[in-house]
Amino acid sequence: MIREGSLEEISDGKKYRANDMVRANCLDCKGCSDCCHDMGNTIQLDPRDICELNVGLEATFEELIQKEYVELTVVDGLILPNLKMDIKTKACKFLSKNQRCTIHSFRPGICRLFPLGRVYENRDFSYFLQTNQCSMKNRAKIKVSKWVDVPHFEKYETYVKTWHYLLKDIEQWLLENGSENTQQMASTVLKYFYMELYSKDGFYEEFASREQKFRKAFQLC
């Protein structure tokens, strides 16, 4: 989720890499589910998150929207999906009555990161620890990659970077090519990267191939 404020204000001031130890381990959260409530539209979903939900829930993108697990929000001129909170309780719809995540093994990347965040610089990124977001005060140290807990972590990080900077380059393209192209670009991104199913075992390869073709088509350097 996107937080307001400078890095110094919201973090311990350090930047972490995949192999660094960080005090993020909430030790199974012990009944707390604070970060699964009142998140509004901030749990944004990337193409891998949607691919995981497609497989885990056996639902297409359109079905995720129809079932109101996912909603669409305008972000910097694009239309991007995010987890939809329950209107009455304001809690995530995947939170069980006993406050556990029912999609834990295929939960979105933002949920995996929390209470970490990412800071992007020079076509790369590092992690930071949000100091005032997690309710658990006595967190233990854990290796960043272990906390995020995604298989093939190097491939995952390469993908995260590629997706982030593709969105940034699209943002720039929209600034340079005028608002009349915004709607067409927004719908192309949604269809090409989210709605068309990925093959179950080859997500990263297929994403990389789509990204290259997309850049070529729109002449994004």
* Contacts to ligand SF4 by CB under 6 A: 26, 29, 32-36, 43, 92, 94-95, 101, 103, 107-108, 111, 114-115, 134-136
Q: Which is nearer to ligand SF4, 43 or 189 (CB)?
A: 43
Q: Which is nearer to ligand SF4, 107 or 125 (CB)?
A: 107
Report the nearest approach of ligand SF4 to the CB of residue 55 (Å).
15
Q: Which is nearer to ligand SF4, 50 or 186 (CB)?
A: 50
Choose among 6, 96, 2: nearest CA to 40: 2
Pairwise CA distance, residues 103 & 119, whole Å: 26
Pairwise CA distance, residues 170 & 65, whole Å: 24
Report the nearest approach of ligand SF4 to the CB of residue 49 (Å).
9
Q: Which is nearer to ligand SF4, 78 or 113 (CB)?
A: 113
Report the nearest approach of ligand SF4 to the CB of residue 22 (Å).
13
Cβ-contact 144, 22 below 8 angstroms: yes
Choose among 141, 148, 193: nearest CA to 166: 193
Q: Which residues pair with 91 in a beta bridge?
A: 37
Report the nearest approach of ligand SF4 to the CB of residue 23 (Å).
12
Q: What CA–CA distances, in Å, run from 178 to 189, 190, 193, 215, 216?
A: 17, 19, 22, 18, 19
Cβ-contact 48, 207 below 8 angstroms: yes
Q: Which is nearer to ligand SF4, 85 or 170 (CB)?
A: 85
Report the nearest approach of ligand SF4 to the CB of residue 26 (Å).
4
Pairwise CA distance, residues 2 & 201, whole Å: 30
